[in-house]
Amino acid sequence: MVKKSNIILSIIIPAYNCESYISECLNSVLDYNPKGIEIIVVEDGSTDGTKSILAGYENVYNNLKILYCSHKGSSAAINIGLDNSTGEYVTFLECDDIIKTGFIRGGFELLSKEADLYAFGIERLSLTGERDLWNLTDNEYSDVSSFAADYSGDKECLVSSTCNKFYRRNIIEDNQLRFDESLPFVEDGQFNKNFFPYAGSIITSSLIMLSDIQRKESAEE
């Protein structure tokens, strides 16, 4: 059982070769930075200027942890973040995504309902600037199968993604759940598949959590 913490939400961000956008990502998280949130950035052995940019954030924010490791891929970096997290809930953010203005305030307030899993909408932005909203409705579920059934088909990403969810951390720790470092891709879906059977209560929200931006350049695994 996870020991009770004064941290309510841990935000884990793996960072690899993202010098062009890591500041934008971090600043979007720090825009509304209440007590009870910790931000954990795991610098995954970048070969560009990512490490130098992150150094400028160190010792500025009391609740920002920057951890450094040799390059092992995003799943390994996320697992390091989990090993060092202390929040009652945990969420994951890719280093090229941006938290929507005002989201953390609204999402943070929902945690008072103490569900096992929270899911939010995603804004997807293409290279041409086209905006596509993947919305969820405000709802509460007592089982995962009903949630998954409502968002199957063309919105399956809302179920399989880990970057639009808050997870109760004691479920992760009590069941020794981690991202599979041997998988070259779809590690999000596998993590959710392992987590979902333990989630007895799910809340979906119409809040849009993040902007998923298609980049000309993409970070390697």
Model pLDDT for residues 3-55, shown as the tens digit of each residue? 556 899 999 999 999 999 999 999 999 988 888 999 999 999 999 999 999 99
Model pLDDT for residues 133-183, shown as the tens digit of each residue? 888 999 999 988 888 888 877 677 788 899 999 999 999 999 999 999 998
Tokens representing 183 are: 């998988």
Q: Give 50-59's long-range contacts (Cβ < 8 A, gap of 24+).
A: 50/15, 50/16, 50/17, 50/18, 50/19, 50/22, 52/19, 53/19, 53/22, 53/23, 54/15, 54/22, 57/26
Containing 25, the helix (H) or strand (E) segment is helix 22-30
30 residue type, one letter: L
Nearest alpha carbon to residue 135 among 148, 149, 146, 124: 124
How confident is residue 218, by pLDDT bands cut at 50, 70 and 90? Answer: very low
